[in-house]
Structure 1
Amino acid sequence: MTKTNAGRFFEDYRVGDVITHAVPRTIKMGERALYHALYPARHALHSADTFAQSCGLPFSPLDDLVTFHTVFGKTVPDVSLNAVANLGYAEGRWLTPLWPGDTITATSEVIGIKQNSNGKSGVVWVRTTGRNQYGEDLLSYVRWVMVRKRGDGPAPETVIPKLMDAVAADELVIPAGLDFSAYDFDLAGEPHRLRDYAIGEVIDHVDGVTIEEAEHMLASRLWQNTAKVHFDATNRPDGKRLIYGGHVISLARALSFNGLANAQMIVALNGGAHANPCFAGDTVRAWSEVLDVADTAAPGVGAIRLRLVATKGAADALRDPEGKYLTDVLLDLDYWALMPV
């Protein structure tokens, strides 16, 4: 009798199931150092205690995407070990900062399920919540995944969840004490305030990063993401290892510093799609479109809603005349970030 975990297949999910994910993870400064080694991340609030303290925080929190990657990695053995692809995100909110020394645990609730017409796979929707050692919610988000079927059995009843188009600005959670009224624009790297950005404005982040196998393997291990498509070159007919979508998210977010250096903290994930697969050797560039701006109750703190696009092609190119993503587009992400007004 085997004792190993082969992962769940499509038939193993039922709406209402709550999955407790294994292996708590304590996050310290080593994760920050590795994050900055893997991605060209330069946002000041996540780089320096002194800058964070000048903004009302006790010290510098871990990058918001460290929370995302760690929570996501917890879910892989139970949600996406046998995934064909990770399809999208919605209703994501960062609820509490992640501080060095915090221990992360995660649970997921199955909220939707639908078999594909080919009868060989299906889509599973889960709402995942990551928590710290005090039981406080760090992050909550919905994602949906295409998962292989084990056999040719009957399909479970279809349930497609109704999801919000976006997190409303007045539902954003601002970290306690955050205050941008004495914000140092020189140390942050750019002078641009919230009202310097116009809705509809497109920002070309200019730089590019070529993805290497070694760094992707390091990142997948760091986040304990064990999905077969990222590790096993025999798992795909083309013999290629698929680059973890979160790796592309972090690269694009880091590249967005050029033009959005003051978009300091991610507080919501409204939606997202991994439009096309990414492989080692691809050169990733990024551009952003301003979708909205809003005030918050925190002193000097505003919120900016952004579309972040990772691409192998040109800025401001997203879809073809039929509305399909261009083949160069890797990521289309809609998120809210905090910025000085």
Structure 2
Amino acid sequence: MNLYFEDFEVGEKFSTPGRSIFNTDIVNFVGLTGMYEDLFCNLEYIEKASAFKKRIVPGALTLSVSVGLFSRTGWFDKTGLALTGFRKINFINPLVPGDTIRNECEVIGKQESERRDGGILTLQVIVKNQRDEDIVSYQTLGLMAKRG
């Protein structure tokens, strides 16, 4: 079900489906992005010298998966015209392989766009794990289609 700019109200809250993140996701992401840091690729370093003493998920991977979770709602498939920005990205707690994340979202802004066929929707997003711990918080801005 596609939702349009007009369908959202400031203060409205919603959640996305969840997704687990595995070691395979980390390996693929590190290879794709070139983030070959010991913190993500060297198990001996991770266990003996890292602050966490266990493998963690790169923050950029967590953010990327979080953005992808919006597509699982079906709300933005044909009406999400463009991702226009991020604000106030904060990495709060580490995520470890096997954790499952979901987005808890609130509409915090709606702004008319120069484009008559769309408007800017601003969401406050809190990424939570299966223990309901806050992992990442950010604001995302997107150009949404209007009806008609």
TM-score with structure 1 length normalisation?
A: 0.40
1:17-65 CA-to-partner distances (Å, cap 9, x unmatched) read 001112x111111111221332222111111232223023221211111
Q: Which runs of 5+ in 1 are unaligned?
A: 152-341
Give the whole-Å Cα distance in 2 for the aligned partners of 1:75 and 1:139: 15
Number of the residue aligned with 2:70: 75
Mark the structure with the bigger radius of gyration: 1
Give the whole-Å Cα distance in 2 for the aligned partners of 1:141 and 1:29: 24
Give the whole-Å Cα distance in 2 for the aligned partners of 1:45 and 1:37: 14
Instruction: Give the alignment partner of residue 110 of structure 1, picking from 107, 112, 115.
Output: 107
Give the whole-Å Cα distance in 2 for the aligned partners of 1:103 and 1:30: 14
Give the whole-Å Cα distance in 1 for the aligned partners of 2:19 and 2:95: 12
Number of the residue aligned with 2:140: 143
- Give the C-alpha shift of residue 78 in structure 1: 6.0
Give the whole-Å Cα distance in 1 for the aligned partners of 2:87 and 2:75: 16
Secondary structure at the residue paired with 1:147? strand
1:67-89 CA-to-partner distances (Å, cap 9, x unmatched) read 10111111234664322211111
Number of the residue aligned with 2:81: 84
Say what the alpha-carbon RMSD is for the aligned residues.
1.6
118-127 or 35-44, larger mean C-alpha shift: 35-44
1:246-284 CA-to-partner distances (Å, cap 9, x unmatched) read xxxxxxxxxxxxxxxxxxxxxxxxxxxxxxxxxxxxxxx
- Give the C-alpha shift of residue 10 in structure 1: 0.7
Number of the residue aligned with 2:60: 65
**CA distance 1:119–1:33, shift in 2 (3 Å):** same
Number of the residue aligned with 2:95: 98
**CA distance 1:56–1:118, shift in 2 (3 Å):** closer
Number of the residue aligned with 1:15: 10
Instruction: Give the alignment partner of residue 129 of structure 2, picking from 129, 132, 135.
Output: 132
Identity across the alignment (%): 23
Task: Establish whether residue 51 from structure 1 lines up as the match of residue 45 from structure 2.
Answer: yes
Q: What residue identity is the alignment partner of 1:138? A: I
1:299-340 CA-to-partner distances (Å, cap 9, x unmatched) read xxxxxxxxxxxxxxxxxxxxxxxxxxxxxxxxxxxxxxxxxx
**Aligned ranges 1:208-219 → 2 under 5 Å:** none
Secondary structure at the residue paired with 1:69? helix
Number of the residue aligned with 1:201: none
Q: Of the two structures, which has the highest relative contact order with CA contacts closer than 8 Å and spacing of 6 or more? A: 2
Give the whole-Å Cα distance in 2 for the aligned partners of 1:110 and 1:27: 26
Q: Which runs of 5+ in 2 are unaligned?
A: none
Give the whole-Å Cα distance in 1 for the aligned partners of 2:105 and 2:13: 6
- Give the C-alpha shift of residue 14 in structure 1: 0.5
Q: Which is strand-richer, 1 or 2? A: 2
**CA distance 1:124–1:79, shift in 2 (3 Å):** farther
Secondary structure at the residue paired with 1:90? strand
Secondary structure at the residue paired with 2:82? strand
Give the whole-Å Cα distance in 1 for the aligned partners of 2:39 and 2:92: 17
